[in-house]
């Protein structure tokens, strides 16, 4: 090999790794994100696309073919009173349970924000239902609220009160579900609110105290606006959870009595996996998806402006 | 030399693998719905079968109740994860037969001496559109269970023998009036199977099993539902808990909080265990006629299974319906004998001699009637819970509810055709 040959070969050899490294550098973030993107694609985007496709077809798991029926499944669903009933019940559930959850959580968090031993113990106790199996909770509360032999009615009758048909009265059954769901989710909301409250600069409270602000006014004028980002985050989560509530309802009431607690997701499950109408089940899933997207947009329009991330 | 030894060793290993593969057992994956005493009895039958058929392994999976099986089977089929054999409830296998999922067992059963041994009712429950799709395994009729101790405490010096709706209501009222203060009810709100029995005893049906005519809004069906609903919301002799959750009605009976419970004869084993000598079993009431529905399930074989597995599965199905196996099953659970020779088996003879309650369902056989099994039945039974709750809890008038339900069932029947 001559020196000249070596000279001419050198730049070529040097360029190749340079170009490769540049490409690699550009691709590195994407490569890191790739496993997660693949995971999301396989378990989220492909199922969404698949649901959309199935919602336009007639299929019951057993048929080898899936004929295209256009918007027929949507038309059939929207003409069924059960769907409107499920939507009404879900909206009532959300409208009552979301403010209840957030209001209670903020009040409790305001008291538990102090770093004392009882406060820490109470935080742990409140968080426990959040990490307890929903099915176990639902089974236990089914017994608590049983009309005959239930703990709640045993307590009421021992005090001379009447037996209350908790799970048979349409309104009471819904109230019981809201109460159980609130009890289960409260701990999570409280912990998030405590984190939000701890980020509020203490000088603001000192200034309010110097100005002679009463406790309620300080809470309303200082605490509430400054934890708005937390409230907004919890609101988004709570609304989605309220519209997707399933396990508690399925175990405790199965949508009963007579459809009084039938939520959209319970209906979706029933249509898809009890009545085996996958087309209509998928159409209902798409409608629920659109409803949640719509609600998220409305929330961001209305509340987004009131959320300030700087104190 | 060493290399030759290695080659020999490899060849021997390959030969051994091939030989063991050739002699490998045929595995039959079997989904069923039996836990507790029923599950143990089934395990015994399977152990007997495997001992008699060394080349076949039955791999069982307790999938849940009948509804769970229907749901999971539907989901498993497109995922190619369906079992080879499955327990299917007698009114809900038509859906799978219609779709070609189940193997037509007619040629198997025609060539099997078992066919001649099966009772007529047992042969009939497996036939859909002229072909045999399931072989009966656990068949039942509803019966009337009552707690003797509660009856005595309520002042019945002699055994009450309620034959009609009025008789049953009168007994239930007496018990509730006398013992209601202790939280004891006269009767459990009838479950879906018992409701069907009470409708039949009022000389009606939900769907005619021969013509397929929908009879949900027939006058006698409406009257039957009016009476059943009145037990809960009008006369308050049945706890509303059993309306929103049928299992709570059974639980209250086994806990000694209910005097009368109308339910499947398949619950007999469990009730004996819970109530012992206090348990009495009597035939279902005959309000206008004496007639009871046949319930329970049979075993179907999946068309998707390999031929060799299908044949092994049929051997098991036939074995499970044999007199020997059926006698063990009958004695352990209380489900009806399906084989004419079952009663001759010592274990069945002993059960009949020592457990008088177990005979009631057999005595009802002359008035037992098969039920329809087209795909719409699955829809009707799933949707029927809401209708029953609305009527029994007094939230909607019976006639209006059933007229509406009948119209929707007719629409669904047309749609599913």
Average the pLDDT over A227-236 and give the result: 90
Look at residue A175 and tell me if it is in a domain. Answer: yes
Quote the number of domains for chain B: 2
Provide CB contacts within 8 A for A195, sequence distance 6+.
A230
CA distance A217 to chain B (A): 47
**Tens digits of pLDDT across chain B (417 residues):** 445 555 555 555 555 444 444 456 899 999 999 988 889 999 999 999 999 999 999 999 999 888 889 889 988 988 889 999 999 998 888 888 988 899 999 999 999 999 999 998 888 889 998 999 999 999 999 999 999 999 999 998 777 778 999 999 999 999 999 999 898 999 999 999 999 999 999 999 999 988 889 999 999 999 999 999 999 999 999 999 999 988 889 999 999 999 999 999 988 988 998 999 999 999 999 999 999 999 899 999 999 999 999 999 999 999 999 999 999 999 998 898 999 999 889 999 998 888 888 888 888 888 888 888 888 888 898 889 999 999 999 999 999 999 999 999 999 888 877
Say yes or no: B146 and B204 in one domain.
Answer: yes
Residue A2 is predicted with a pLDDT of 43
Say yes or no: B181 and B255 in one domain.
Answer: yes
Does pLDDT of A9 surpass 60? no
Say yes or no: B44 and B133 in one domain.
Answer: yes
CA distance B276 to chain A (A): 23
The strand pair at B131-132 and B127-128 is best described as: antiparallel
Half-sphere exposure in the Cβ direction for B43 (13 Å, CA):
9
ipTM of the prediction: 0.75
Does pLDDT of A200 surpass 90? no
A168 interaction partners in chain B (CB closer than 8 Å): 240-241, 243-244, 393
Facing A165 at nearest CB: one of B71, B101, B240:
B240
The three-state secondary structure class of B5 is helix
Say yes or no: B186 and B238 in one domain.
Answer: yes
Average the pLDDT over A208-220 and give the result: 83
pLDDT tens readout for residues A60-99: 887 778 899 999 999 999 998 889 999 999 999 999 999 9
Question: Residue B224: which CATH number?
Answer: 3.40.190.10
Q: Which of B143, B148, B198 is nearest to B175 (CA)?
A: B148
Look at residue A16 and tell me if it is in a domain. Answer: no
Look at residue B10 and tell me if it is in a domain. Answer: no
Radius of gyration (C-alpha) of chain A in whole angstroms:
27
Residue B132 is predicted with a pLDDT of 94
Look at residue B283 and tell me if it is in a domain. Answer: yes
Average the pLDDT over A195-223 and give the result: 85
Look at residue B4 and tell me if it is in a domain. Answer: no
Say yes or no: B149 and B237 in one domain.
Answer: yes
Cβ separation of A273 and B244 shorter than 8 Å? no
The DSSP bridge partners found for residue B282 are: B144
Say yes or no: B388 and B333 in one domain.
Answer: no
Helix (H) / strand (E) containing B89? strand B85-89
Look at residue A148 and tell me if it is in a domain. Answer: yes
Residue B20 is predicted with a pLDDT of 47
Say yes or no: B175 and B256 in one domain.
Answer: yes
Cα–Cα distances in angstroms (integers) from residue A281 to residues A39, A51, A59, A270, B210, in the given order: 24, 9, 10, 8, 32
Least CA distance to B387: which residue of chain A?
Answer: A258
Look at residue B385 and tell me if it is in a domain. Answer: yes
Domain final position from B336, B362, B388: B362
Helix (H) / strand (E) containing B295? strand B295-301
Least CA distance to B245: which residue of chain A?
Answer: A253
Residue B6 is predicted with a pLDDT of 56
* Distance separating alpha carbons of residues B315 and B338, to the nearest angstrom: 17
Look at residue A41 and tell me if it is in a domain. Answer: no
Look at residue A20 and tell me if it is in a domain. Answer: no
The 3-class secondary structure across B43-86, one letter per residue, is HHHHHHHHHHCCCEEEEEEECCCHHHHHHHHHHHCCCCCCCCEE
Provide CB contacts within 8 A for B303, sequence distance 6+.
B100, B101, B102, B103
Cβ separation of A62 and B240 shorter than 8 Å? no
Look at residue B17 and tell me if it is in a domain. Answer: no
B231 and B242 Cβ atoms separated by less than 8 Å: no
Residue B3 is predicted with a pLDDT of 53
Residue B12 is predicted with a pLDDT of 55
pLDDT above 90: percentage of residues in chain A: 57
Cβ separation of B78 and A61 shorter than 8 Å? yes
Give the mean pLDDT of chain A.
88
Triad B321, B324, B329: Cα angle to 5°? 65
* Distance separating alpha carbons of residues B218 and B200, to the nearest angstrom: 12
Q: Copy the structure tokens of residue B287.
A: 């309000």
Residue A209 is predicted with a pLDDT of 83
Task: Note down the domain range covering B194.
Answer: 142-293+375-416
Look at residue B5 and tell me if it is in a domain. Answer: no
Triad B161, B165, B169: Cα angle to 5°? 75
Residue A17 is predicted with a pLDDT of 60
Quote the number of domains for chain A: 1
pTM of this prediction?
A: 0.81
Q: Higher confidence at residue B167 or residue A256?
A: B167
Q: Which of B246, B118, B239 is nearest to B186 (CA)?
A: B239
Say yes or no: B289 and B309 in one domain.
Answer: no
Say yes or no: B129 and B209 in one domain.
Answer: no
Q: For an interface test with B, which of A63, A276, A278 has the most B Cβ atoms less than 10 Å from its Cβ?
A: A276
* Distance separating alpha carbons of residues A282 and B327, to the nearest angstrom: 47
* Distance separating alpha carbons of residues B62 and B34, to the nearest angstrom: 6
Residue B366 is predicted with a pLDDT of 86
What B267-274 contacts at long range (C-beta under 8 Å, 24+ apart), as own/partner pairs, is: B267/B145, B267/B334, B268/B143, B268/B333, B268/B334, B268/B355, B268/B357, B268/B358, B268/B361, B269/B37, B269/B38, B269/B332, B269/B333, B269/B334, B270/B36, B270/B37, B271/B145, B272/B334, B272/B355, B272/B357, B273/B37
* Distance separating alpha carbons of residues B128 and B90, to the nearest angstrom: 10
Residue B13 is predicted with a pLDDT of 53
Cβ separation of A276 and B95 shorter than 8 Å? yes
Look at residue B274 and tell me if it is in a domain. Answer: yes
Residue A302 is predicted with a pLDDT of 81
Look at residue A49 and tell me if it is in a domain. Answer: no
Q: What are phi and psi of A23, to 5 degrees?
A: -65, -40
Look at residue A284 and tell me if it is in a domain. Answer: yes
Say yes or no: B172 and B133 in one domain.
Answer: no
The DSSP bridge partners found for residue B280 are: B146
- Longest Cα separation, chain A: 110
- Write out the DSSP string of chain A: --HHHHHHHHHHHHHHHHHHHHHHHHHHHHHHHHHHHHHHIIIIIHHHHHHHHHTTB---SS-S---B-TTHHHHHHHT-HHHHHHHHHHHHHHHHHHHHHHHHHHHHHHHHTS--HHHHHHHHHHHGGGGS-HHHHHHHHHHHT-TTT-HHHHHHHHTTPPP--TTTSHHHHHHHHHHHHHHHHHHHHHHHHHHHHHTS-HHHHHHHHHTT--HHHHIIIIIHHHTHHHHHHHHHHHHHHHHT--HHHHHHTTT-STTTT--HHHHHHHHHHTS--HHHHHHHHHHHHHHHHHHHHHHHHHHGGG--S--
Dihedral of the alpha carbons of B44, B45, B49, B52, in degrees to the nearest 10: 70
Say yes or no: B183 and B240 in one domain.
Answer: yes
Q: Which of B169, B139, B86 is nearest to B264 (CA)?
A: B139
Residue B358 is predicted with a pLDDT of 86
- Longest Cα separation, chain B: 97
pLDDT tens readout for residues A140-189: 999 999 988 899 999 999 998 888 999 999 999 999 999 999 999 999 99
Q: Copy the structure tokens of residue A101.
A: 């959850």
Q: Higher confidence at residue A6 or residue B54?
A: B54
Domain final position from B316, B339, B362: B362
If phi > 0 it is left, if psi is from -120 to 50 it is alpha, else beta; for residue A212 that is: left
* Distance separating alpha carbons of residues A129 and A185, to the nearest angstrom: 7
- A241 burial level (CB within 10 Å; 0-12, 13-18, 19+): middle
Cβ separation of B74 and A253 shorter than 8 Å? no
Facing A253 at nearest CB: one of B96, B244, B383:
B244
Residue B24 is predicted with a pLDDT of 60
Q: What are phi and psi of B117, to 5 degrees?
A: -85, -20
pLDDT tens readout for residues B293-341: 998 999 999 999 999 999 999 999 999 999 999 999 999 988 989 999 9
Residue given tokens 């070529």 in the structure block: A12
Q: What are phi and psi of A67, to 5 degrees?
A: -60, 140
Cβ separation of A146 and B382 shorter than 8 Å? no
Q: Which of B267, B188, B194 is nearest to B232 (CA)?
A: B188
B396 touches chain A (CB under 8 A): yes
Task: Note down the domain range covering A235.
Answer: 81-306
Provide CB contacts within 8 A for B77, sequence distance 6+.
A61, A62, B101, B304
Residue A4 is predicted with a pLDDT of 43
Say yes or no: B278 and B409 in one domain.
Answer: yes
Look at residue A26 and tell me if it is in a domain. Answer: no
Q: Copy the structure tokens of residue A24.
A: 């690699």
Question: Residue A104: which CATH number?
Answer: 1.10.3720.10
Cβ separation of B382 and A63 shorter than 8 Å? no
Least CA distance to A150: which residue of chain B?
Answer: B241
The strand pair at B26-32 and B56-62 is best described as: parallel
């Amino acid at each position: 090999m001559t020196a000249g040959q070596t000279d001419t070969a050198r730049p070529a050899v040097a360029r190749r790794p340079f170009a490769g490294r540049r490409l690699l550098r550009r691709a590195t973030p994407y490569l890191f994100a790739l496993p997660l993107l693949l995971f999301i694609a396989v378990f989220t985007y492909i199922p969404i696309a698949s649901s959309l496709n199935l919602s336009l077809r007639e299929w019951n798991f057993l048929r080898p073919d899936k004929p295209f029926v256009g918007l027929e499944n949507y038309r059939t669903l929207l003409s069924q009173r059960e769907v409107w009933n499920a939507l009404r019940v879900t909206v009532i559930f959300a409208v009552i349970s979301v403010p209840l959850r957030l209001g209670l959580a903020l009040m409790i968090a305001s008291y538990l924000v102090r770093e004392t031993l009882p406060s820490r113990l109470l935080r742990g106790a409140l968080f426990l239902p959040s990490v307890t199996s929903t099915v176990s909770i639902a089974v236990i509360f089914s017994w608590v609220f049983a009309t005959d032999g239930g703990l709640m009615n045993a307590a009421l009758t021992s005090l001379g009160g009447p037996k209350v048909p908790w799970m048979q009265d349409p309104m009471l059954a819904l109230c019981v579900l809201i109460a159980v769901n609130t009890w289960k989710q409260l701990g999570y909301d409280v912990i998030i609110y405590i984190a939000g409250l701890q980020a509020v600069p203490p000088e603001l409270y000192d200034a309010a105290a110097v100005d002679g602000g009463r406790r309620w006014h300080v809470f309303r004028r200082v605490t509430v606006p400054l934890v708005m980002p937390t409230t907004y985050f919890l609101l988004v989560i709570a609304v989605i959870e309220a519209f997707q509530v399933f396990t508690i309802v399925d175990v405790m009431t199965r949508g009963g009595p007579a459809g009084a607690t039938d939520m959209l997701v319970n209906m979706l499950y029933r249509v898809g996996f009890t009545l085996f109408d996958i087309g209509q089940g998928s159409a209902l899933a798409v409608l629920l998806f659109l409803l949640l997207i719509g609600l998220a947009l409305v929330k961001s329009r209305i509340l987004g402006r009131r959320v300030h991330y700087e104190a | 030399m060493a290399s030759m030894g290695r080659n020999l060793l490899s060849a021997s290993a390959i030969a051994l693998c091939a030989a063991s593969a050739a002699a490998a057992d045929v595995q039959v994956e079997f989904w069923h719905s039996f836990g507790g005493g029923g599950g143990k009895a089934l395990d015994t039958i399977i152990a007997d079968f495997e001992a008699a058929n060394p080349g076949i392994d039955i791999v069982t999976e307790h999938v849940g109740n009948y509804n769970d099986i229907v749901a999971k089977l539907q989901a498993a089929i497109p995922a190619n994860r369906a079992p080879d054999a499955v327990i299917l409830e007698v009114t809900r296998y038509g859906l799978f037969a219609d779709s070609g999922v189940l193997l037509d067992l007619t040629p198997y059963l025609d060539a099997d001496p078992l066919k001649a041994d099966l009772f007529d009712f047992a042969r009939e429950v497996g036939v859909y559109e002229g072909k045999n799709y399931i072989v009966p395994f656990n068949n039942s009729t509803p019966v009337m269970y009552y707690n003797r101790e509660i009856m005595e405490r309520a002042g019945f010096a002699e055994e009450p023998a309620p034959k009609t709706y009025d008789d049953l209501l009168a007994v239930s009222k007496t018990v509730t009036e006398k013992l209601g203060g202790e939280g004891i009810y006269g009767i459990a709100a009838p479950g879906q199977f018992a409701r069907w029995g009470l409708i039949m005893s009022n000389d009606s049906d939900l769907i005619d099993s021969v013509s397929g005519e929908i009879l949900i809004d027939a006058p006698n069906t409406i009257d039957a539902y009016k009476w059943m609903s009145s037990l809960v919301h009008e006369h308050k002799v049945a706890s509303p808990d059993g309306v929103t959750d049928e299992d709570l009605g059974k639980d209250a009976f086994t806990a000694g909080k209910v005097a009368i419970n109308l339910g499947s004869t398949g619950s007999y084993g469990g009730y004996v265990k819970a109530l012992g000598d206090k348990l009495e079993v009597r035939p279902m009431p005959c309000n206008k006629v004496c007639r009871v529905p046949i319930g329970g399930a049979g075993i179907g074989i999946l068309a998707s299974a390999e031929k060799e597995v299908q044949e092994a599965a049929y051997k098991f199905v036939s074995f499970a319906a044999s007199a020997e196996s059926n006698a063990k099953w009958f004695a352990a659970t209380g489900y009806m004998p399906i084989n004419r020779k079952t009663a001759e088996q010592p274990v069945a003879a002993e059960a009949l001699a020592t457990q008088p309650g177990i005979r009631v369902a057999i005595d009802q056989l002359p008035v037992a009637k098969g039920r329809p099994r087209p795909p719409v039945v699955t829809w009707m039974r799933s949707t029927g819970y809401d209708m029953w709750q609305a009527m029994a809890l007094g939230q909607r008038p019976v006639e209006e509810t059933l007229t509406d339900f009948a119209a929707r069932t007719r629409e669904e029947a047309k749609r599913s055709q």
